[in-house]
Structure 1
Amino acid sequence: MHRIVIVGGGAGGLELATRLGNRLGRSKRAHVTLVDRSATHVWKPLLHEVAVGSLDTNVHQISYVAHSHWNHFTFVLGELTALDRRTKQLNVGPVLETEGMEVLPGRSIEYDTLVLALGSRTHFFDVPGAEEHAIALDSLEQAERLRKRLLQACQKKTAHSSTGENPVVDVAIIGAGATGVELAAELRRMESTFKDFGILAKSPQASLRINLVEAGSRILPALPRRVSDSTQAVLESMGVSVLVSKAVTEVRATNIELADAQTIPSDVSIWAAGIKAPCVLGSLDGIAVNRINQVKVSRSLQSETDENVFAFGDCASCAWTAENMVPPRAQAAHQQAMFLFKALCARLDGLPLGLFQYRDHGSLVSLGSSTAVGSLAGLSRGGKIFVKGYVAEFIYAALYRKHLMAVSGVRRAAFAIAAHKLSRMLSPRVKLH
């Protein structure tokens, strides 16, 4: 059978593997394999909720082993380390347990068609101390690490405060894109729950002092100005200090330094300032990449240097217009997964692949359980329709429901949503341990 190997089980990679497994794997027309360094999948836009403890990962994560069994593809646990295009083999590194003992050895996997969907990693821009002292939000493990750091910082400040003193925990979020903005709003909701359960002092004054730092002239620079201004107004009404045109020059254990010599105290520093593709892509055999390691692909999503290698999502550099590239968004990965599903089926039939055309449906930013702002593609040529409040929040929630249905089907998605609702009724708003 034709061997299709997909590396990366993010939103796009998992959706593609699921669709190909159910179409080609079930009928024995192709052998579909998904490779990922993690055992479970969590939708990346939800990691900021994991970081503040407001999302139950046991409900929302998908086991790759179980999912592959149900959807007629094979799952391989491990991380891509090398590629030999001549023999059409990729190398997967060994899997180690927590103590460093080897669980699975390194392996080689043969392919006829290779799809790279490794997503993106945090770009620290070589800022001194950033990787050492700031926490990123690339994975479930990092989100859990941030949650524990926040909880411990709050417990420590409260335990060591004097009677009558209002302990303040300083949090610095570096980067005011969608992740930084949504995290700032979630932290305010976390603070309220911590006060209810005595982890923070029940004071009318803010116990979390949140600074959102952006090097650009405005927050959410990739979104329309109206969305940016409206979002900043909501954040400031929550008591979040928004600092724009402030480049970070150094991150230390207890503070961050800005280019204008200003020092901001920080008990917990979070880096959400930029992305790049995984470094391994830049080392692969003859695969052309750009300056941030994204694979250069044609409009058919094939590598410019190998027609048997495809790439999509955050790890691919694909032209949208003559001036712009396809943006690193979840909607782009979904559209490209749908295109590749049809293109790879056509490839097995000897038909043309076609050309990918990105359609921008707008963007939404969640600022709480009933607050969201964004812009949606209008029905006329006028461009975007500005939305906010409950309507925007409903649409934002629907995006995740759509992702669940794409990878799990309607029935399992419905059970997952119901389990989430029950979990919210039977447990505190955020995880307290």
Structure 2
Amino acid sequence: MSNPSTPSDKLQRHDPDQGVRPSRPHQIVVVGGGIAGLEIASKLPGSIRNASIAVTLVDREPAYVWKPMLHTIAAGTTDVSQQETSYISQARNRRFVFETGELKGIDRKERKLHLKPLEIEGRSILPERAISYDTLILATGSEANDFGTPGVRDHCLTIDSRSQAMKFNREVMAHMLEALAAKSSLHIAVVGGGATGVELAAELVQLADTSAYYGAAGLLDQVKVTLIESGPNLLGAFPDRVAIAARERIEKLGVTVLTGARVVAAEAGCLRLADGTQINAGLKVWAAGVKASDACASFDGLEVTSNNQIVVRPTLQTTQDPRIFAVGDCSSLSVGDPGRPLPPAAQVAHQQASHLIRHLPGWLEGKELPSFSYRDFGSIVSLGGYGAYGSLGQFGLFTGGFLRGRVAQLGHVLLYRSHQSRLHGFWRGGLIWLADMINSHVRARIRLPDR
């Protein structure tokens, strides 16, 4: 009996359902161009030295931005044009095909993906399309979870994608200009005390602080940032020492921190808490909770969790179909004892991508696919120019060590630059780093309004 973890055909030379047929490229389709998806699409063609492989990447955005940097683009302390990677350009350089589109559904029997019609600013560009696959890798990422809270979708912004971060940036710039003109206060509420919420709050303070350098005198006193967390502490996934240090720092920056405060409704000019408190805010961003997209729950019978994450085996194959893999935030893999799901973190997505890049070529040739093994390398929270705090992972001589100051900031930078090196290669990644260093000295320190 054949091993269920291995493909039933080798590079499409033989299919037990259709018999021997002419050789054609084995179609590997990756849905989602985030940390895991783009790494797989960029490196897999080079790791498989066989002309009968074709890799296609599908994403609804035109360009990629490292997700841990989205909050800096949202605040305007980083220019998106300097940090994004065009999918079309990357596809040309790394020998894969890029398809613009959003996944509508999966037909597992016919092995086809159905993409929604593509519209840009109300104009119909492409009709609904279907893409055939032999091996499918789902890497659709995650989004904030509003837990069904009334008014969130109508009155709160999110920063889960490049386009959402850019939209928030336009809104915060417009609100700041209005506050300056009217000499009034701008109240910004950030819901969610995880890494995204804490880092965004610090970046918003930095935006107001740096704006004074460009003539917006007094803006720092006009901008009031409130960070709301329903749990007892900020950064619940971090060690206590990191969470305490980060909270002390952002409170010194003037951020009002509310913990144990659950938002029960969002309205046009305020947020309402469970205890009846009303938090006035002209600009509200929801960064609480994590879930996979609602579309994952309708992917042709794939097993999902209550947060829409696709349940996978230790080999990263879905429980219902060995031809379909799920990696990164959209997947759920329980490890260890008592079987806790891996966190939706960048390091998990990278390690899972590396696992498939390393072992998928052998699997396509009929070898058994080994189980994925996760290593916790620790975590870092960056407060922009105001510092960084982190902890080392659970291995080595410095297990659980505490990082702060320049060491933690350097660690955060190196995480990003090593990711760029994996995408673009060592030399090209180094040149991008050099270009960013030059730009930091010759360009504005914040993204200034362009109209």
The TM-score, its normalising length taken from structure 2, stands at: 0.91
Matched, 1:34 2:51: no
Matched, 1:252 2:267: yes
2:151 is aligned, of 124, 129, 137, to 129
**Offset of residue 379 of structure 1:** 5.3
The runs of at least 4 consecutive aligned structure 1 residues that moved more than 4 Å come to 378-382
2:380 is aligned, of 344, 361, 364, to 364
State the distance in 1 between where 2:387 and 2:432 align: 23
Give the match's secondary structure for 1:275: coil
Matched, 1:151 2:173: yes
Question: Which 10-residue stretch deviates more, 168-177 or 188-197?
Answer: 188-197
**Offset of residue 214 of structure 1:** 0.3
Q: Is the 8 A contact 1:135 1:271 kept in 2?
A: yes
State the distance in 2 between where 1:297 and 1:381 align: 32
Q: Is the 8 A contact 1:364 1:392 kept in 2?
A: yes
Q: Name the residue aligned to 2:22.
A: none
The TM-score, its normalising length taken from structure 1, stands at: 0.95
Q: Is the 8 A contact 1:301 1:310 kept in 2?
A: yes
Q: Is the 8 A contact 1:216 1:246 kept in 2?
A: yes
State the distance in 2 between where 1:412 and 1:381 align: 33
State the distance in 2 between where 1:248 and 1:370 align: 28
Cα deviation digits, residues 159-204 of structure 1 (max 9, x gap): 123xxxxx321111100100000011111110112222233x437x
State the distance in 2 between where 1:173 and 1:313 align: 25
Q: Name the residue aligned to 1:291.
A: 306
Matched, 1:234 2:249: yes
Matched, 1:80 2:83: no
Q: Is the 8 A contact 1:196 1:202 kept in 2?
A: no
Q: Name the residue aligned to 1:62.
A: 85
Matches within 5 A, 1:285-364: 285-323=300-338, 324-364=340-380
Matched, 1:209 2:224: yes
Equivalent residue letter for 1:340: L
Cα deviation digits, residues 123-149 of structure 1 (max 9, x gap): 111111111111111111111111111
Cα deviation digits, residues 89-126 of structure 1 (max 9, x gap): 1111221121x222122211111110000000121111
Q: Name the residue aligned to 2:114.
A: 91
Cα deviation digits, residues 248-306 of structure 1 (max 9, x gap): 11111211111111111101111000111011111111211111111110000000001
> Aligned residues, how many?
424
State the distance in 2 between where 1:70 and 1:29 align: 19
Q: Name the residue aligned to 1:189.
A: 206
State the distance in 1 between where 2:305 and 2:264 align: 25
1:50 is aligned, of 60, 68, 73, to 73
Give the match's secondary structure for 1:302: coil
**Offset of residue 380 of structure 1:** 4.5
Matched, 1:6 2:30: yes
Q: Name the residue aligned to 1:179.
A: 196
Equivalent residue letter for 2:151: G
Q: Name the residue aligned to 2:442.
A: 426
Give the match's secondary structure for 1:243: strand
State the distance in 2 between where 1:68 and 1:21 align: 10
State the distance in 1 between where 2:312 and 2:53 align: 24
Equivalent residue letter for 1:234: R
Q: Is the 8 A contact 1:370 1:390 kept in 2?
A: no
Matched, 1:383 2:406: no
State the distance in 2 between where 1:148 and 1:281 align: 30
Q: Is the 8 A contact 1:378 1:385 kept in 2?
A: no
Matched, 1:138 2:160: yes
Equivalent residue letter for 1:194: S
Equivalent residue letter for 2:175: A
Q: Identity over the aligned pairs, expressed in percent? A: 38
Question: Which 10-residue stretch deviates more, 413-422 or 137-146?
Answer: 413-422
**Tell me, which stretches of 5 or more residues in structure 2 are unaligned?**
1-24
**Offset of residue 419 of structure 1:** 2.0
**Offset of residue 415 of structure 1:** 2.0
**Offset of residue 410 of structure 1:** 1.4
Q: Name the residue aligned to 1:168.
A: 185
Q: Is the 8 A contact 1:95 1:105 kept in 2?
A: yes
Equivalent residue letter for 1:413: G
**Tell me, which stretches of 5 or more residues in structure 1 are unaligned?**
162-166
State the distance in 1 between where 2:237 and 2:387 align: 20
State the distance in 2 between where 1:405 and 1:384 align: 27
Matched, 1:118 2:152: no
Q: Is the 8 A contact 1:59 1:416 kept in 2?
A: no
Q: Is the 8 A contact 1:170 1:209 kept in 2?
A: yes
Q: Is the 8 A contact 1:56 1:420 kept in 2?
A: no
Q: Is the 8 A contact 1:347 1:353 kept in 2?
A: yes
Equivalent residue letter for 1:11: I
State the distance in 1 between where 2:448 and 2:419 align: 28
Question: Which 10-residue stretch deviates more, 214-223 or 375-384?
Answer: 375-384
**Offset of residue 405 of structure 1:** 0.4
Give the match's secondary structure for 2:413: helix
Give the match's secondary structure for 2:189: strand
Give the match's secondary structure for 1:82: strand
**Offset of residue 217 of structure 1:** 0.2
Q: Name the residue aligned to 2:14.
A: none
State the distance in 1 between where 2:171 and 2:390 align: 31
Cα RMSD (Å): 1.5
Give the match's secondary structure for 2:221: coil
Give the match's secondary structure for 1:187: helix
Give the match's secondary structure for 1:171: strand
**Offset of residue 422 of structure 1:** 2.4
Cα deviation digits, residues 50-86 of structure 1 (max 9, x gap): 0111112212111111111111111111111111111
Give the match's secondary structure for 2:28: strand
Q: Is the 8 A contact 1:370 1:393 kept in 2?
A: no
State the distance in 2 between where 1:157 and 1:230 align: 31
**Offset of residue 378 of structure 1:** 5.8
